[in-house]
Amino acid sequence: MNTNYWSVDKFVDKLENYPQIQQAADLLSKNEVVAFPTETVYGLGGNAKDNQAVEKIFAAKGRPSDNPLIIHIAGQIQLTDFVEDISAHAQLLMSRFWPGPLTIIFPLKKGFLSSKATAGLETVAVRMPDHPVAMAILKASGLPIAAPSANRSGKPSPTTALHVKEDLDGRIAGIVDGGPTGVGVESTVIDCTSEIPVILRPGGVTKEQLEEVVGEVHVDPALADEKEAPKSPGMKYRHYAPDAPLYLIDGTREDIQRLINEQHREGRKVGVLTTAENEAFYDADYIYACGERDRLETVASSIYEALRSFNKQDVDLIYSEMFPNEGVGNAIMNRLLKAAGQRVIKG
């Protein structure tokens, strides 16, 4: 398959009228799949109403079909087509965080969306992205667009169009390059179908921010339970993994260097995922400083670039520092634990 590639200036006025956007929207209306930027990561979009389009998303990603997709919309009025009920909590969260990196789980009104997009569940995950290119494509197509991250399943999510091209060139109809994304980790997913909202996936909106709006918010203890049918994207299967095995080190930087030295004595090459504060400390074969520890949003914005960077280096394994499990640190640790297959070494 020939993959079309369009470069778009996200700062242009009335972007939805531009030829590149119109061409991408036309492909979506023909049930082809197109990658485009959001404020979190690049998404792989397809017509959420059509089984064939959704199947093409799963095929391009190599993704299991029991993993539900997030439906992207350009306006709240679209919810009336496929959402059975909007709770008071959901209304408050939409008012505060849409458009933005928050996905809300609603009760599904059946008959409008492809059942493949919702993995046969009684609920549907929806968000309104805060990115001019994504919104222009949604408006131009007039469709609800199912859009998981635009990467091969299990690989680090893409934060640039080049990442998408590396994974999906020749597998999809088009890539819209709108520059690098901002938040860097996927949206927070919150279930608003129960009395107390429940976070199913940590992301760009923190638990603390959510509680400022709706009060008590729970975190689903089944986040790591792979026996259950996933109610949200990112709850099942290994994700975000670099090619070399990744290990999280629960210890000091001295502990990490001791482990590096042990691997060097065995003739193995070691990569280290750290932050700017500790970069000069390590003696390793490849070191990636992923933002600043006292500004975790900088770590979140570059975590996938960091994981992908190791694939271009000759390393046998990767050691990563751990991060505070609070605020956006919840999302960072969630992604790193999945990338590591839950492998944690005590220092």
> Residues within the annotated binding site for L-threonine?
40, 72, 127, 147, 187
- Is residue 57 a contact partner of residue 221, using CB atoms and an 8 Å limit? no
DSSP per-residue letters across 64-120: -TTS--EEE-SSGGGHHHHBS---HHHHHHHHHH-SSSEEEEEEB-TTSS-TTTTTT
- Is residue 282 a contact partner of residue 256, using CB atoms and an 8 Å limit? yes
- The whole-angstrom separation of Cα 286 and Cα 290 is 13
H helical segments located in the chain: 19-29, 51-61, 79-82, 88-97, 132-141, 161-168, 207-214, 253-265, 296-309, 329-339
Q: Binding-site residues, please? A: 40, 63, 67, 72, 123, 127, 147, 149, 157, 187, 201, 240
Q: Binding-site residues for ATP, please? A: 63, 67, 123, 149, 157, 201, 240
- Closest to 205 (Cα-Cα) out of 129, 267, 140: 129
Strand, helix or coil for residue 39: coil
Q: Which run of H or of E encompasses 286?
A: strand 286-289
Walk across the sheet containing 246-250 and list its strands. Answer: 286-289, 270-274, 317-320, 246-250, 344-346
Q: Which run of H or of E encompasses 41?
A: none
- Is residue 67 a contact partner of residue 119, using CB atoms and an 8 Å limit? yes
- The whole-angstrom separation of Cα 57 and Cα 107 is 23
